[in-house]
Amino acid sequence: MNGPSVAFLLPEFVNQKSAQRRQFLDRLNAAVACKSIVLLDSNEENEDNWSNLMIVRFAHIKLFGESFRLGLSAALDLGAEKIVTFEGYSAENAGWFTDYLNGGNLIETGKRNFREMLVTEVANLLSFGNSYNNFSFNRILTNQAAGLLKDTKLNSKSFLVESINILNTHGIPTTEIIREEYGKDNKRINLVEMAESIVRSFNKTSINYSLISSFSYLVNLLMVYVSLSLGFFYPVAVLLGGEISGLSNFIVNEKINFRNKGLLSSAYRFGKFNAFILAVVAFDIFMISIISKYLLAFGRTDFSIISTFSIVVVSAVSLFFTNKIIWGKGNHQKVFL
């Protein structure tokens, strides 16, 4: 099933009770087919007790991120091609990986709790990701992925979110196995960790996207107001502003920010993008008509305020769908079981 190129990384293993550590290693020893590397930070385990495990110890560090990076570096130094980590060190979770070692980078997870859902969705929005749940630590990492993560400054549980974003940014695909029945340890995150995870979801691409979108928004406002001052009918003004700002947004993002190549692929994305822009414009016009219908009397100033409010709301709504439909990276595959 797995050869000596597979390493099992057990950070914070020393924090488990002695009986639990023995039970976990007993089940792990039974799950592997040949001599396999086990990296842990406990000095009590004797490898003579487990015929299929070659135990390698590394220093225990209180900060989980540093301990994790140290273990990754040790596994890579030993020539590991795959590195397996565990959500919890219960005996039931010791063999979770047995069906997945022939694949690439993989996460096994279950249903999200509310906090995990909130952080994952916001992180996906900010980083153009596509994960279901960033927080499970049942993972298989290739040496390529491990080589990237060992050089980061990941700490606390926020590294779970950031690690997926790093792989996504570098175009390294991952697969997420999502199980409806998930009996693994449920790690909850506190509010500080939630905020840290979201903040660390920002990357260079998302910052550039924010700047480009802000510029496009100003272009949209300018074109709408100029068109209205020239006497254009409101729907025409909105359509003109949306098309011009959308075209500039697409070109700059497609070729400069995301650096996408290929004429046909860009044309296909532009077709989706333009269709989406037209839908947004139609929604904007619909909102204005509804608002105007229930305001019996409003002057030009009130109309400008309503128009600005409408554009802000529509822009906020469209941001989510644009990220998902147009710019979201497809490096993360989700499989529901």
Note the pLDDT tens digit of each residue in 24-34: 999 999 999 88
Distance CA 187, CA 315 (A): 35
Distance CA 173, CA 130 (A): 11
Q: Which residues contact 15 (CB under 8 A, 6 or more apart)?
A: none
- Between the CA of residue 112 and those of 66, 166, 180, 296, what are the distances in Å? 26, 21, 10, 47
Is the confidence at residue 174, as pLDDT, over 60?
yes
Q: Which of 312, 335, 296 is nearest to 103 (CA)?
A: 335
Q: H/E element holding 75? A: helix 64-77
| Averaged pLDDT, 253-265 | 82
**Which residue type occupies 164?**
I
Q: Which of 211, 141, 157 is nearest to 189 (CA)?
A: 157
Q: Which residues contact 227 (CB under 8 A, 6 or more apart)?
A: 236, 237, 240, 241
What pLDDT sits at residue 141? 95
Q: Are strands 53-57 and 138-142 parallel, antiparallel or unpaired?
A: unpaired
Q: H/E element holding 54? A: strand 53-57
Instruction: Identify which has the larger pLDDT, 112 or 9.
Output: 9
What pLDDT sits at residue 8? 96
44 touches 66 (CB < 8 A): no
Q: Which of 139, 108, 114 is nearest to 194 (CA)?
A: 114
Is the confidence at residue 73, as pLDDT, over 60?
yes
| pTM given for the model | 0.76
Distance CA 41, CA 69 (A): 13
